[in-house]
Every structure is written in C-alpha cells, then in structure tokens.
Amino acid sequence: MYDIASWALNIGALRGASYADVRIGGDRHRALSTKNGKLGSASDTESMGIGVRVIADGAWGFAASEDLSRAAVEATAARAVQIAKASARVKQHDVRLAPEKPSTAEWTTPMVIDPFTVSVEQNLAVLIEIDGELRSVRGVTLAETNMNFRREEQWFASSEGSKIHQTKYTSGVGYAAYAFAGSEIQKRSYPTSFGGQWQNKGYELIQELKLGENARRVGEEAVALLKAEQCPEGIFDVILDGSQLALQIHESVGHPIELDRVLGMEANFAGTSFLTLDKLRSLRYGSELVNIVADAREEHGPGLGTFAFDEEGVPAQSTPIITSGLFTGYLSSRETAAMIQCERSGGTLRAEGWNRLPIIRMTNVSILPGSQPLTREQLIAGTDSGVYLETNRSWSIDDKRYNFQFGTEIGWEIKRGKRTRMLKNPSYSGITTEFWNSMNAICSREEWVLWGIPHCGKGQPQQVMGTGHGAAPARFRGVKVGSAYRGNA
C-alpha cells in the first residue's frame, strides 16, 4: 500500500505541492435491525479507495478515487494539485502547518472477538430474542432492535515521511420499546437512545451489556410512562444520568471547542461557537468540579474517538478542555493550531472515510469522575428535592452553542433523598456556562461510562462520525425544568 501512496506523493511533488499526504482506506460495515419480530434491515458493505490532500501555492487541494491503479492514483494526485492551485487564486492567506515529527507505526483496536467472525444468523438470533422479550410486555406497541459492526483499515503516508497503518473496530447495539395510546407515544431505550451503546471493541461488547436481562424492564417502563404524572415545571435540582450527561457534553462542550468553528472556517449543522479566542484561560466555564478532557489515547478507554494517530499523522493526545472549571483548550488541527500560534496540533483531524477531506472532529470529550467515592444512589440520597433525568429524547441548542433545551425519555421525582414517582415528558433548559457552573456533585469512577455517539454530523458534504463521551451521573443546582411536550409525542 505504501508503494501506491508513493505514486501519489511523487506526482504531488512533481506538480508543485509543498506538502502532500495520502490515505488509503478499506471500510467494512454490517448493519442489522428488527422491528416487531421481523427483519427490519440487513446490509454488509465494503469500500476501498484513496484520498490525496496537498498544499500548492499556499492553498489546500483534495481529490479521491476508488481506483487504485497507478494511472488513476497519479491522476488523482494531479487533480488535487490542480484544485489547490485554483483555490490559491482566492485564498486569504497561505496555509501554514504546526510542526510535527514524522511517525512510523502499526496499531489495531484492542479486542477479544472479531465481530466479523460471528455470523449474521447469530447476530439476528440475539436481536430476535430481545425483540420477543420486549413484545411480551402487555402494552408495548412497537419493538425495535439494531446491531452494527465496522472495520476501518487505513494506510497513511506523507511527504514529511510518516507511514502509519491503523485498523479500527467498532461495535454497537441497542433497542427500544414504544407504547401508543391515543395521540400519545412513549419510548424507552437501552442501553441508551439513538442506536444504543457503541464502543471501539469487538463482539464482546454485545456480551457485556446485559441486553436480555434489561428488556422486560424497558418494555414495562415504556408502558408505565403512559399513565405517569406529567413532569412539573419550575426550578429544581437536577441529576442527569451518565448517558444524558454525555450528550450534554457533546452539544454544549464538544461542538463549541472545535477550533474551525471558533475561527469561522466551519458553520454547517451546529453553527459557530461562543468560545472566542479571548475566552481561552479566562472563562469560568463551570464549577470547580468540572474537569473535561479531549482524550484519543487508548488508555482513556474504548471510545469512538480512540485511535493512535489522527488523519494527518499526529499522535493521539489528552488535551485539558476545562480544568477545575476554567476553559483551557480547543480541538485543533495542524493548520488551526498554527493560526493561533500553538506549538502543536491537538491531533483531532478526522474523516468519515477515504473519499472525504479530514476536518476537526471530537475525539473522546469526557468529564472526569469525582475524586471522592460517590455512587448514584448516594447522590440521590443527598438530594432533598429534585428530578432525576434519564436517557435523551431530544435536543436543541442555538448556533453558538449557548442556549439549550433537552428532553429525556423518563424522569423520577426525588423527595427527601428517595426516588419516588415516575415523570413523563421531562425537559430542562439553560445557558451553557450557567449550567456547568451549577454542578455541585459528580459520581466517582465506578459509575463512569465511556458512551458512544455514533451519528455526529458535520461539514459539507456531510460527514457522519462517532465520538466518545465519558460521564458519570452528576447533580446541578437550580435548573429550569419543564414540559417540552405537554402530553403529546
């Protein structure tokens, strides 16, 4: 593969590129789902190709091809240079890259069971069994399950001398039960909503999640929500479960720290950012308990943002984002790091596949657990009056990531340290910095989970990628709680 990459690098140099890198990628994806006891969908797809990125006349150019013949590869590299030179005619400034030493490396996701060695028939048997368990609950109207596996293999080479081969495996699984009554629909999901739990692991993830053991409870809660009390409106102490806190991090921390948004280079889907450069190391983002890192290293855990090197050969790093409540870092690339005079990229340039230009993406943006022992039950026991909110149902946030509203599938009233009645259609809202400054407790490591969000969209053309967010249940004081749904789906 490196011989193929050298064809592109050589043409890039001959045509006038001052820098070039090549990504040759192979991608396999299996996706299965069921709906009410029947097969919903099944696919097993593969693709392979090459993407060439160059700087010529101080501007970027990118081209890709699924043809790996020498003639096609050289033509692709020549096209990338041609695009760069055309772009240079309207450039505002020359592209500069923060320095990075070349690397030679091999890396593969640590795993126990290669998911592609488990047959489709076995996969479907697991899903059908869960589907049946959900539908065995009287009142469940619709049951849905899904299971996904992906293998991404990539060879990276650059004109600076890097040669990096990485293979990443991803597994994901989840299910949901729906209960319909008149115009009302209630839903409960497991392990969390919007596709369930995803991690960079093998088939062992499917075995670890206790899918069958939780199916009946999930179905029963969906039905019970139809008769549950409406969530009250007012100012309450709120405890977010780990998966909801993970999405809160994604939307109100992860997106606004993307440096391309801050610099006005990117505004698709999630808008820009309130975190202008003057706020770095001066903004009080949260309380003293808020410590958030962007960590792509293997030792952080099997997150969807875990790798050895990013898409321009920068090693995985841990970047402090919020340190004891103070805003301390951005997600950066070699180009954006140079633009704000940083000595080195944070290593967060990623692409959906070989045919997409890499852009800044979240890695594993995680809140660190509390330093003192604290379980979820102890957190609830220490709350006199509040609401426990679990499993995301909806989210809305403005184009600078400052004002937000989230809805969850279920809530539980807390009275005198005990979880009491079930509440339906709960929502909460706030201002990003006020919300994070109100955090006054977070559970310790034993409650911390590295959650996967597999469908984060960004860019034009859109790139959909996975991100990781480690979180433990946490409590926030004085949050505005209400009913975003008022009894209707």
Task: Note whether residue 415 is domain-resident.
Answer: yes
Last residue of a domain, one of 163, 197, 227: 227
Q: Whole-angstrom Cα distance, residue 346 to residue 284?
A: 22
89 pLDDT higher than 50: yes
Label residue 129 by pLDDT band (50, 70, 90): very high
Q: Whole-angstrom Cα distance, residue 383 to residue 415?
A: 8
* Residue 239 shares a structural domain with residue 358: yes
Task: Note whether residue 377 is domain-resident.
Answer: yes
Task: Note whether residue 395 is domain-resident.
Answer: yes
Helix (H) or strand (E) holding 49: strand 38-56
* Residue 122 shares a structural domain with residue 256: no
Nearest CA to 361 among 300, 312, 427, 402?
312
Task: Note whether residue 9 is domain-resident.
Answer: yes
Q: What is the mean pLDDT of residues 392-415?
A: 96
270 pLDDT higher than 80: no
Task: Note whether residue 320 is domain-resident.
Answer: yes
Task: Note whether residue 488 is domain-resident.
Answer: no
The pLDDT value recorded for residue 483 is: 59
* Residue 206 shares a structural domain with residue 76: yes
Distances in Å between the Cα of 403 and the Cα atoms of 54, 129, 250, 485 are 39, 42, 14, 19
* Residue 201 shares a structural domain with residue 235: no
Task: Note whether residue 141 is domain-resident.
Answer: yes
* Residue 271 shares a structural domain with residue 347: yes
The tens digit of pLDDT for each residue in 434-484 reads 999 999 999 999 999 999 999 999 998 899 999 999 999 999 999 999 855
Torsion angle (degrees, nearest 10) of CA 326, 331, 334, 335: -90
294 pLDDT higher than 60: yes
* Residue 19 shares a structural domain with residue 159: yes
DSSP state of 368: P
Q: What is the mean pLDDT of residues 118-125?
A: 97
* Residue 234 shares a structural domain with residue 223: no
* Residue 239 shares a structural domain with residue 223: no
Q: What is the mean pLDDT of residues 403-425?
A: 97
At a CB cut-off of 8 Å and minimum separation 6, what does 96 contact? 335, 338, 339
The pLDDT value recorded for residue 149 is: 98
Q: CB 101: neighbour CB atoms within 10 A?
A: 11
Nearest CA to 16 among 59, 66, 72?
59
486 pLDDT higher than 90: no
The tens digit of pLDDT for each residue in 36-56 reads 999 999 999 999 999 999 999
Q: What is the mean pLDDT of residues 325-347?
A: 97
Label residue 351 by pLDDT band (50, 70, 90): very high
The pLDDT value recorded for residue 45 is: 97
The pLDDT value recorded for residue 488 is: 39
* Residue 249 shares a structural domain with residue 210: no
CATH code of the domain covering residue 46: 3.30.2290.10
* Residue 216 shares a structural domain with residue 267: no
Task: Note whether residue 392 is domain-resident.
Answer: yes
Tell me which residue range forms the domain holding 162.
2-227
Token duo for residue 398: 């403005």
Q: What is the mean pLDDT of residues 31-39?
A: 97
* Residue 370 shares a structural domain with residue 460: yes
Beta strands in 211-343 (DSSP E): 229-230, 234-240, 292-295, 318-323, 326-327
Label residue 285 by pLDDT band (50, 70, 90): very high
Identity (one letter) of the amino acid at 33?
A: S
Last residue of a domain, one of 207, 227, 247: 227
409 pLDDT higher than 60: yes
Token duo for residue 124: 């479907």
Q: What is the mean pLDDT of residues 203-225?
A: 98
Count of structural domains, the chain? 2
Mean pLDDT score of the chain, rounded to an integer?
96
DSSP state of 81: H
DSSP state of 115: G
Last residue of a domain, one of 172, 206, 227: 227
At a CB cut-off of 8 Å and minimum separation 6, what does 221 contact? 177, 188, 410, 422
The pLDDT value recorded for residue 487 is: 44
* Residue 152 shares a structural domain with residue 180: yes
Q: What is the mean pLDDT of residues 164-188?
A: 97
